Structure formats: C-alpha cells, structure tokens
Amino acid sequence: MMEREGMETLTETIEVVRVADGVSEFEYRLAAARDSFHYYARIGKAQSDGFDVTVWPLPRIGEVRLDYEFPAYTSLAPQRRPLGTGVAALAGTKVELEGVTNTQVESGRL
C-alpha cells in the first residue's frame, strides 16, 4: 500500500520473487518518485511497519557569480561578474565561482 497526501491509496499485488528456507521474498521497483509518500506491506491480516519516503528537489545552482583577481601586471581592480555565458580571463587570473543552491547539499564539484 502506498499513500500520498491528498491522493488515492495505491494498492498493488506483487508476485513472490523467490522462496528460500521457507521465507518468501518480494521485490518492487518504483519509478522515479516525484512526490513524498508513506508505504507499508500487507499480506493477509499481517501488516508491516509504515515507512515515509521524502522526495527532495533536484539540487540546482542559481545566482552564480564570478570573482576575478587579475595578475598584478594588468593593474586591473578585482571584479565581480555574473556567470553569463562562461568564463573568460587573462592567463594568470584567479577566478572564484560562487553560487546558491535551491536545497541543502553536502558537497559539490565542477
């Protein structure tokens, strides 16, 4: 049984995948979930504990800014620019990328 807030409860019959040592095993693959849901298994009168699945939005980076620190020979002051269409700078320029994610993330890489 799968329950989603504000939607009908989904009930599906699942076939036994294998039996080993008298224990029946079942398998269910869920397509990419778009919404959070609660689920549990029911066989006859027995019911498992319930479990919650929380779907988080796909992390995206927005408000990307580039900080340019130009080589001393250019006499150019540091600049902050939006990302725009890419990064272009003179050789030796230090460029720092900064942005904000739409959801909390542990780490990232380019």
**Distance (Å, whole) CA 49 – CA 30:** 19
Kindly tell me if the per-residue pLDDT of 32 is higher than 90.
no
Structural domain boundaries in the chain = 2-53, 61-101
pLDDT in tens, 38-79: 888 888 888 889 899 898 888 999 889 999 999 999 999 999
Task: Give the neighbor-by-neighbor strand order of the sheet with 94-101.
Answer: 79-82, 61-69, 94-101
Q: How far, in Å, are 4, 28, 102, 104, 106 from residue 55 at the CA level? A: 12, 18, 14, 13, 17
Inter-residue contact 58 to 23 (CB < 8 Å): no
Q: Looking at residue 60, what is its pLDDT?
A: 92
DSSP code at position 73:
G
- Burial class of residue 4 (count of CB atoms within 10 Å of its CB; 0-12, 13-18, 19+): middle
Kindly tell me if the per-residue pLDDT of 2 is higher than 80.
no
φ, ψ for residue 72, nearest 5 deg: -55, -35
pLDDT interval class at 34 (50, 70, 90): confident
